[in-house]
Amino acid sequence: MMFARQSLRIAARALRYPTGAGAVRAITTNLNVTSVAKSSWQKMVFATGTTGLLIGFAWNTEIAHTLSAKIDWEGAVRKDIVKMIEDEEERRGDGTSIGPTLIRLGFHTSGTYDRTAQNGGSNGACMRFIPEAHYEANQGLSFPRALLEPLQAKYGMSFSDLWTFAAKVAVEEAGGPVIPWRSGRTDADDGSKSVPDGRLPDATQGAAHLRSIFNRMGLNDQEIVALSGGHSMGFCHLDTSGFVGPWTFAPNSFSNEYFRLLVEEKWVPKKTHKGKIWRGPLQYEDSTGNLMMLPTDMALMEDPAFKKWVIAYKEDEELFSKHFAAAFSKLLELGVPFPKEKTSGGSFLAKMKNMLGL
Ligand code: HEM
Residue pair 152/144 in contact by the 8 Å Cβ criterion: no
pTM of the full structure: 0.83
CA distances from 246 to 96, 125, 238, 239, 266 (A): 10, 28, 12, 14, 16
- For every residue of 295-346, DSSP letters joined together read HHHHHHHHSHHHHHHHHHHHH-HHHHHHHHHHHHHHHHHTT--PPPPPS-S-
Range 111-121 average pLDDT: 98
Choice among 63-67, 171-175, 232-236 with the minimum mean pLDDT? 63-67
Choice among 25-29, 92-96, 174-178, 336-340 with the minimum mean pLDDT? 25-29
Higher model confidence: residue 189 or residue 60? 189
- Per-residue pLDDT band for 339 (boundaries 50, 70, 90) equals confident
Q: Are both 170 and 115 inside the same structural domain? A: yes
Q: Are both 114 and 219 inside the same structural domain? A: no
Choice among 143-147, 245-249, 349-353 with the minimum mean pLDDT? 349-353
Residue 10 lies in a domain: yes
**Residue 19 pLDDT more than 70?**
no
User: Measuring from atom 1 of ligand 1, which residue has the nearest CA?
Assistant: 228
Q: Are both 150 and 256 inside the same structural domain? A: no
- Per-residue pLDDT band for 317 (boundaries 50, 70, 90) equals very high
**Which of the listed residues 146, 161, 193 is the one where a domain comes to its end?**
193
Helices (H), 174-244: 207-217, 221-228
- pLDDT value of residue 69: 72
- Per-residue pLDDT band for 12 (boundaries 50, 70, 90) equals very low
- Summary mean pLDDT of the chain: 85
Distance CA 88, CA 108 (A): 21
Residue 333 lies in a domain: no
- pLDDT value of residue 305: 98
Range 265-282 average pLDDT: 98
Q: Are both 181 and 227 inside the same structural domain? A: no
Q: Are both 131 and 226 inside the same structural domain? A: no
Higher model confidence: residue 292 or residue 41? 292
Residues 6+ apart with CB under 8 A from 74: none
Residue 33 lies in a domain: yes
Residue 273 lies in a domain: yes
Q: Are both 236 and 143 inside the same structural domain? A: no
- pLDDT value of residue 153: 98
**Which of the listed residues 300, 315, 330 is the one where a domain comes to its end?**
315
Residue 353 lies in a domain: no
- pLDDT value of residue 340: 79
Q: Are both 94 and 179 inside the same structural domain? A: yes
- pLDDT value of residue 66: 67
Residue 169 has phi, psi (to 5 degrees) of -60, -40
Range 255-262 average pLDDT: 98
Q: Domain holding 220: CATH number? A: 1.10.420.10
- pLDDT value of residue 202: 98
Q: Are both 243 and 153 inside the same structural domain? A: no
Higher model confidence: residue 246 or residue 14? 246
**Residue 77 pLDDT more than 50?**
yes
Residue 320 lies in a domain: no
* pLDDT tens for each residue of 212-229: 999 999 999 999 999 999
- pLDDT value of residue 63: 65
Domain count, the chain: 3
**Which of the listed residues 315, 332, 351 is the one where a domain comes to its end?**
315
- Per the structure, the complete domain to which residue 9 belongs is given by 2-59
Choice among 39-43, 150-154, 171-175, 214-218 with the minimum mean pLDDT? 39-43
Q: How far is the CA of 104 from the centre of ligand 1 (A)?
A: 6
Q: Are both 113 and 32 inside the same structural domain? A: no
Higher model confidence: residue 20 or residue 318? 318
Distance CA 260, CA 258 (A): 6
Task: Report the interhelical angle of 221-228 vs 304-315 (nearest 10°).
Answer: 50
- pLDDT value of residue 35: 32
Residue 327 lies in a domain: no
Respond yes or no on whether the N-terminal peptide bond of residue 295 is cis (omega within 30° of 0). no
**Residue 346 pLDDT more than 50?**
no
Residue 206 has phi, psi (to 5 degrees) of -120, -160
Q: Are both 92 and 185 inside the same structural domain? A: yes
Q: How far is the CA of 144 from the centre of ligand 1 (A)?
A: 14
| Pocket mutation for ligand 1, best pick of 88, 94, 101, 107 (most atoms within 8 Å of C-beta) | 107
- Which of 19-28, 59-68, 111-120, 332-341 is the most confident on average? 111-120
Count other C-beta atoms under 10 Å from residue 267's C-beta: 18
- Counting from 1 in the atom list of ligand 1, the atom nearest the Cα of 101 is 41
Distance CA 333, CA 129 (A): 21
**Which residues approach ligand 1 with their CB closer than 6 A?**
100-101, 103-104, 107, 140, 201, 203, 210, 227-228, 230-231, 233-237, 240-241, 243, 294, 296, 328
**Residue 91 pLDDT more than 80?**
yes
Distance CA 118, CA 99 (A): 30
Residue 328 lies in a domain: no
In this structure, the chain runs to a length of 358
Q: Are both 115 and 145 inside the same structural domain? A: yes
* pLDDT tens for each residue of 25-54: 333 323 332 333 344 545 554 445 445 544
Q: Are both 116 and 174 inside the same structural domain? A: yes
User: How does 346-357 read in b/e, with b if 16+ C-beta sit within 10 Å?
Assistant: eeeeeebbeebe
Range 12-23 average pLDDT: 35
Active site residues: 108, 247
